[in-house]
Amino acid sequence: MAILPILCYPDPRLHKVAQPIQAVDDRVRTLASDMLATMYDAHGIGLAATQVDVHERLVVIDVSEERNEPLVLINPEIVWTSAEKHLNDEGCLSVPGIYDGVERFDAVHVRALDDKGTSRVIEADGLLAVCIQHEMDHLMGKVFVEYLSPLKRNRIKTKMIKQQRESRE
Ligand code: GNR
Ligand code: NI
């Protein structure tokens, strides 16, 4: 298992649109297990392939307290959303140290292939529903800070560029 480097905002590669996975084979299973290792190593609850510079529709998630309920979602599609949306504080491994409110559906149903290639529908609410929506945005090239005001987003961008410059020194 490999720990993969995570792209940091404002890297332009975070805005690439991911392509569907054609076959759930060993290549995809290796990528999924490397992404899970990377997510656990970074103490995240989710990771989209986009964040490790792979532009394919694959996300991994684990919202469990004990970090022992890994989910692999391949070619995920939202098939139902609740009527209600609510504001939740979000963070992102690609925007370290930044947390702010984003409106998300309270509940979603998602159809996806698992790591065996079996089609499943996951009925999600709470943190899992938020995380699924956050990860599916990554696959569309969208980072949560794009929901914030231009003023906030520009402040975040400047802060990230400064942090990256200082970490290279
Ligand atoms: O680790 C993460 N925590 C989190 C908290 C609130 C809403 C969304 C998330 S996802 C994030 C990991 C990540 O960046 N996934 O893309
Ligand atoms: Ni993220």
Q: Is 65 annotated in the active site? A: no
The span from the first CA to the last CA of the chain, in angstroms, equals 29
pLDDT in tens, 72-125: 999 999 999 999 999 999 999 999 999 999 999 999 999 999 999 999 999 999
The pLDDT of residue 169 is 84
Q: Which listed residue (103, 123, 135, 166) is catalytic?
A: 135
Encode pLDDT of 33-70 as tens digits: 999 999 999 999 999 999 999 999 999 999 999 999 99
Ligand closest to CA 46: 1
The answer to whether residue 23 scores a pLDDT higher than 90 is yes
Ligand 1-lining residues (CB < 6 angstroms): 44-48, 51, 90-94, 130-131, 134-135, 138
Residue 13 CA to its chain's centroid (Å): 14
Kindly indicate the confidence band of residue 1, based on its pLDDT and cuts at 50, 70 and 90: confident
Locate tokens 């391949």: which residue? Answer: 74
Instruction: Please give the model's pTM, rounded to 2 decimal places.
Output: 0.98
